Structure 1
Amino acid sequence: MNQNDLLNMRYATIEDARTAMAKYLEERPANYSLEAPLYNDPMMFRVDMEEVFQKEWLFVGMTSEIPNRGDYFTVEIGQNPVLVVRDADGSVNAFHNTCRHRGSRVCLEHRGKVANLVCPYHQWTYDLKGNLLFAGTEMGESFDKSKHGLKKAFCKTAGGFIFVCLGKEEPQSDFDEFLATLEEYMAPYDVENTKLAVESNMYEKANWKLVIENNRECYHCAGSHPELLNTILEWDDTNDPRAPQDFLDHYHDLAAQWDAEGIPHEHKSFGPGKRNRIVRMPLKKGTKVMTIDGEAGCKKLLGRIQNPMLGSMRILHLPNSWNHMQSDHFIVFRVLPISATESMVTTKWFVHKDAVEGEDYDPARLRQVWDATNDQDRILGEENQRGIASVAYQPGPYSETFEFGVMNFLEWYSDTVQKNLKK
């Protein structure tokens, strides 16, 4: 099968799609975008779900969203409903949100609090560790409850972040090394003593990879993000070769302040394509946080932070999250695929748990910059998706100076999918 045959076919079976995807990724030029089917074909999307979103570590939320025993939230990962709950001993557990009786979802609300997990269909009841407590006498005396607990998903936490993996086996990688660094870098924020101030869910008619690609470069920022550019500097990190001397001087001045306060800031990256990356970046001189005017978004600083000029600690986790940690609030982003040409982008803003809405912070003010930026990115992603649908589309070249972050992402994506396809 030659390249033209691959491009012109629509894959009748998942095996056809897997074979074609392996060939695409093996032969792709590292500095070019992907072939169209990897962005818009339903069978290719199914391969993405099976080989990425059902096998890799995914960011789902923050521990401070479920501060107490029985607090839970739910999330949909493709066709897989997942439940994340705080246990009586303080542990965070993740389960497939499907009853072991006849498969109904157990928790129907996005958020809630329970003493036990009770399926609304037939009242099968599980404790917060997923053990089946009650199935009714109708199941008979020989029924073994111990064999019918909720099915667990792998779950790890670090620095207040919650990650889950739906795979049958835990991925073997340098993920634990990243988690240890994340714990260290997030310590000043004391996430357990924060609270969710506001969240948004944005439906985007674009493939999840286009959403991530758009995030991984600021080549488009000057023409698209006036609100964001009030405070943010376009350089990708402190090692960006494009950065001028005045930026480096600005960074070194602030780094001395951060060092004096014991605030970690050195660039750290892990895995192929810098899959997991942490770097503290200055904002524009004279600005404190990513609000419309660069002034404080909340009157209470987070954790042990004393200096409001912490810039933004950017945390990347592929395949589905980027985040901005600031002195008085932080913002986390989660991307989840819906279909080959649809994604959901969730944005959450967190403040000190003692901050009072309307007195210490205004949710509308917290949201203003990123609501605008998200919508601008949505339009860019959707127009990108429409253009890729054209018969005229062919992969185009990335700028190695401005779009190296996109190239890093596709390096990780290509390596990960090819590795998983061989298992």
Structure 2
Amino acid sequence: MNQNDLLNSTCATIHEARKEMANLLEERPANYSLAQPLYNDPLMFRIDVEEVFQKEWLFVGMTSEIPARGDYFTVEVAQNPVLVVRDADGSVNAFHNTCRHRGSRICTEHRGKVANLVCPYHQWTYDLKGNLLFAGTEMGDSFETQEHGLKKAFCKTAGGFIFVCLGKEEPEGDFDEFLSTLEEYMEPYDVENTKLAVESNMYEKANWKLVIENNRECYHCAGNHPELLNSLLEWDDTNDPRASQEFKDHCKDQAAAWDAEGIPHEHKSFGPGLRNRIVRMPLKKGTQAMTMDGKAGCNKLLGRIKNPQMGSMRILHLPNSWNHMQSDHFIVFRVLPISAQESLVTTKWFVHKDAVEGVDYDPVQLRKVWDATNEQDRVLGEENQQGINSIGYQPGPYSETFEFGIVNFMEWYSDTIDKNLKSR
């Protein structure tokens, strides 16, 4: 088989896989898990990458990670290296982290600070807006520097969150409406005056959708997350069909205190499958934060917050993030696909920028609850993946009371794949 035949064969195979994926999603009962190939097949994974992670808005990090000119961090989205950098005018830019000369990665560290962006291979130099400044005289007189700037990724920020889109066009939808609400709800935390206290990266041998599914339900919490349930009330909101009257009364009391302080808390949802969602929920009575003893993890409260009983403002962004905002610190989670059966889960803890490590907070204590919870979820996800790989696996039903969050996720996932496949 020559090169053209091989290319045509590969294209035909991908085309058939797209048709198969569309059929599998169309035939799936709305409240059932996915067919096996959608969890473990490399071709189906490739389509997930192309139709979701290369076309949709992705959470990548927080603006306070890059507080000053030239500060940057890097992230890899399924073999697509991305660079996020703070410009001289304070704006946040995202670029494909690949040199326009011969494609080498420009920034090779996870995070750092630069005056300009210099490729280590042949020293091509770009400014912080991605313009090519220097390529050397070796390129000849006819070489046009303005035609060889870095390729930009779409980038938007709101409330301290940074989102990028690697697509050729911005996705349609109500994302800007979500960002506007996110800006309003994050205002009390003053994210620009926070700092990254500690970060963890965990490789989970499970498909990215299994990672998200596990997060979207607390059906498993009582049997698996004792540390988390020291402080967390598992109900999503007062409309949760399992919510008790005691919980509803607790929410009412807490809401009155939040109103007195001008803290927004009304449940907001956007998009199919509630893909973007913000809701503030109280923690267990007598607890202030998601720590082992329920006490504050940092002595300095965030932003304009005065009440340590701020509960947890939960922010969901599909396909790859969930977050918990508390009075003294906040925690953000990012999921990125590695392969059909491997994902990277990154967790970051943020505190007030003036908080002193060892005085105001202890990073070890700050992270204990979610380190334990992440490890427990890793085991659950990997066991889930291994069971799905079995020839004995067949899709099973979700509980519409305990697992409605997964039903919502699957609605969003199916709609997104269908929309993006049809737009080809």
The TM-score with structure 2 as length reference comes to 0.97
- 1:362, 1:14 → 2: CA distance? 50
- 1:91, 1:374 → 2: CA distance? 33
- 2:14, 2:65 → 1: CA distance? 37
Distance change (3 Å), C-alpha of 1:407 and 1:124: same
Provide the residue aligned with 2:268 in structure 1: 268
- 1:77, 1:197 → 2: CA distance? 24
Provide the residue aligned with 1:22 in structure 2: 22
Contact 1:217 1:236 in 2 (8 A): no
Contact 1:222 1:229 in 2 (8 A): yes
CA deviation profile, 1:6-56 (whole Å, cap 9, x unmatched): xxxxx9821121010000111111100000000000000000000000000
CA deviation profile, 1:303-344 (whole Å, cap 9, x unmatched): 000000000000000000000000000000000000000000
Provide the residue aligned with 2:3 in structure 1: none
- RMSD of aligned residue pairs (Cα, Å): 1.0
- 2:315, 2:238 → 1: CA distance? 14
Is 1:337 paired with 2:337? yes
- 1:268, 1:207 → 2: CA distance? 28
- 2:422, 2:22 → 1: CA distance? 9
Letter aligned with residue 163 of structure 1:
F
- 2:79, 2:392 → 1: CA distance? 33
CA positional deviation for 1:238 = 2.8
- 1:297, 1:368 → 2: CA distance? 10
Is 1:240 paired with 2:243? no
- Aligned pairs for 1:156-175 (under 5 A) are 156-175=156-175
Is 1:46 paired with 2:42? no
Provide the residue aligned with 1:7 in structure 2: none
Is 1:92 paired with 2:81? no
Contact 1:238 1:267 in 2 (8 A): no
Runs ≥4 residues deviating over 3 A: none
- 2:101, 2:238 → 1: CA distance? 53
Letter aligned with residue 85 of structure 1:
V
- 2:406, 2:129 → 1: CA distance? 40
Listed as ranges, the gaps of 5+ residues in structure 2 are: 1-10
- 1:298, 1:242 → 2: CA distance? 32
The TM-score with structure 1 as length reference comes to 0.97
Provide the residue aligned with 1:63 in structure 2: 63
Provide the residue aligned with 1:112 in structure 2: 112
Letter aligned with residue 129 of structure 1:
K
Provide the residue aligned with 1:303 in structure 2: 303
Provide the residue aligned with 1:283 in structure 2: 283
Number of residue equivalences: 414
Letter aligned with residue 90 of structure 1:
G
- 2:72, 2:50 → 1: CA distance? 26
Letter aligned with residue 221 of structure 1:
C
CA deviation profile, 1:337-380 (whole Å, cap 9, x unmatched): 00000000000000000000000000000100000000000000
- 1:196, 1:13 → 2: CA distance? 44
- 1:118, 1:387 → 2: CA distance? 47
Letter aligned with residue 205 of structure 2:
K
Please give the secondary structure, in 2, of the residue aligned with 1:397: coil
Provide the residue aligned with 1:8 in structure 2: none
- 1:418, 1:50 → 2: CA distance? 13
- Aligned pairs for 1:353-364 (under 5 A) are 353-364=353-364
- 2:238, 2:297 → 1: CA distance? 25
CA positional deviation for 1:236 = 1.6
Provide the residue aligned with 2:380 in structure 1: 380
Contact 1:297 1:362 in 2 (8 A): yes
Please give the secondary structure, in 2, of the residue aligned with 1:95: strand
Letter aligned with residue 264 of structure 1:
P
- 1:74, 1:14 → 2: CA distance? 30
CA deviation profile, 1:78-136 (whole Å, cap 9, x unmatched): 01000000000000000000000000000000000000000000000000000000000
CA positional deviation for 1:241 = 1.8
CA positional deviation for 1:218 = 0.1
CA positional deviation for 1:251 = 0.4
Contact 1:289 1:296 in 2 (8 A): yes
Listed as ranges, the gaps of 5+ residues in structure 1 are: 1-10
Provide the residue aligned with 1:76 in structure 2: 76
Please give the secondary structure, in 2, of the residue aligned with 1:94: strand
- 2:237, 2:254 → 1: CA distance? 14
Provide the residue aligned with 1:188 in structure 2: 188
Contact 1:75 1:110 in 2 (8 A): yes
Please give the secondary structure, in 2, of the residue aligned with 1:338: strand
- 1:12, 1:365 → 2: CA distance? 53
- 1:401, 1:345 → 2: CA distance? 27
Provide the residue aligned with 1:177 in structure 2: 177
Please give the secondary structure, in 2, of the residue aligned with 1:93: strand
Letter aligned with residue 379 of structure 1:
V
